[in-house]
Amino acid sequence: MQAESKVKEIKNGGILSPKGFLADGIAAGIKKEKKDIGLILSVVPATAAAVYTTNQFQAAPLKVTQDSISHEGLIQAVVVNSGCANACTGDQGLKDAYETREWVAQKFNIPQHLVAVASTGVIGVTLPMEKIKAGIEKLSPLATKEHANSFQKAILTTDTTMKACCFATEVNGKTVTMGGAAKGSGMIHPNMATMLGYITTDANISQEALQLALREVTEKSFNQITVDGDTSTNDTVLVLANGQAGHDPLTPAHPDWSNFMGILTLTCESLAKQIAKDGEGATKLIEVEVQGALNELDARIIAKQIVGSSLVKTAVYGADANWGRIIGAVGQTNAYLNPENVDVSIGSIEMLKSSVPVSFSEEVALDYLKQDFIQIFVHLHCGEAVGKAWGCDLTYDYVKINASYRT
């Protein structure tokens, strides 16, 4: 992509790298001895765009955040708690989410509709409101790396690592920076993503243009990851753009629009891949690239079907070069293909050419599949479109983690 050449990665950057953002994370006692309430605060109201889970059981915090954004398309503060999802909690859950919004607004002296709310954790349990209120009072956001890390730790559940990234580009000759933080390890099969993702940028952009950009990029990034095929009730990706970079407003007609789309794409892809890599019990990140599809949607559908196949995932875990499982996943989709002309490779090892098996070294394949990053390539020879998807292997530990999630 041409825009990528105009984008640079900021090593060790994150949500506080763009101008005008503060953060914090504290332990309020929702979880045992771990941080569990996090906050992002912009120095000015920021243009906001969001995508949410398509699960019909949407948690109360999503409804409150949707209500906040509907007022002016602006958000200044985001509060997130982990340890309790506040999902399937009825009228009380919704009341608690609104009350949480009110407490944050009072704490930072901003209108309530400028506060977004999110929760993650066990479903069907109401929030411990006394702990939530006391925790909000303890928040002291600053613009330091330590405070960014505190926020990232506060939003984790079964994650084993923090997930962050940062990229920069130029708009009207001025530097625009974008940082991201996310959580997600299980219940990952997005339509929107099964996760929480927060992206900050000092770009100047309208709400309409930002929402358009986020929806487009989400389809190619967060919606192309899967861990276990389950879509959660709380998933949200939220982008805040506070305009502090000081350039002309961005729209699709702006000459540097491709630069902005470049950093948004790379930010979302980076977070998505970090989530897939940290799948519960995972030992390997799997990337599937489908080439030669009739259209991009077909390519993405097939790629996600492959990476989401339990048989493919277990084969990768066991370092078994069973390309038949890949073909089986391809054939399950409704995408256009010619079953007589499909190529399959695992890494650089060709295994199927024009739907005919190719002789390969099982030892070489075994050595490759023992690595922690596995690539699978499928060529359909039907067109020019390409699509990617990311996932992880399926291990014994995944069962152990989810068999005892509430305990």
Q: Please tell me the predicted confidence (pLDDT) of residue 108.
A: 98
Supply 213's token pair.
């950009």
**CA angle, 180 then 190 then 274, to 5°:** 40
pLDDT exceeds cutoff 50 at 318: yes
Report the residue count for the chain.
407
pLDDT exceeds cutoff 90 at 299: yes
Instruction: Report whether 227 contacts 188 (CB < 8 A).
Output: yes
Residue 190's pLDDT band (boundaries 50, 70, 90)?
A: very low
Beta bridge partners, 345, equal 350, 377
pLDDT in tens, 233-249: 777 899 999 999 999 99
Q: What is the chain's mean pLDDT, rounded?
A: 91
Catalytic positions are 194
Nearest to 184 by CA among 132, 220, 237: 237
Nearest to 272 by CA among 207, 192, 387, 154: 192
Q: Model pTM?
A: 0.82
Q: Please tell me the predicted confidence (pLDDT) of residue 227.
A: 59
The region of weakest confidence among 158-167, 174-183, 257-266 is: 158-167
Q: Please tell me the predicted confidence (pLDDT) of residue 103.
A: 98
Extended beta strands in 313-372, E state: 343-346, 349-353, 356-357
Q: What's the DSSP call for residue 276? A: H
The domains of the chain, with CATH numbers, are 2-273 (3.60.70.12), 285-403 (3.10.20.340)
Q: What's the DSSP call for residue 181? A: E
Q: How far apart are CA 328 and CA 237, in angstroms?
A: 32
Nearest to 178 by CA among 151, 210, 207, 156: 210
Amino acid at 120: T
Q: How far apart are CA 239 and CA 203, in angstroms?
A: 11
How many contiguous H segments (helices) and E segments (strands) does the chain have? 11, 16
pLDDT exceeds cutoff 70 at 405: no
Q: How far apart are CA 225 and CA 264, in angstroms?
A: 17
- Phi first, then psi: give them for residue 231, nearest 5 degrees: -100, 130
pLDDT in tens, 366-382: 999 999 999 999 999 99
Q: Please tell me the predicted confidence (pLDDT) of residue 194.
A: 43
DSSP string, 326-363: HHHHHHTS-S---TTS-EEEETTEEEEETTEE----HH
Q: Please tell me the predicted confidence (pLDDT) of residue 104.
A: 98
Q: Please tell me the predicted confidence (pLDDT) of residue 230.
A: 52
Question: Which whole number is the average pLDDT over 109-116?
Answer: 98
Neighbours of 260 (CB within 10 A): 28
pLDDT exceeds cutoff 80 at 162: yes
pLDDT exceeds cutoff 60 at 100: yes
Percent of the chain with pLDDT over 70: 92
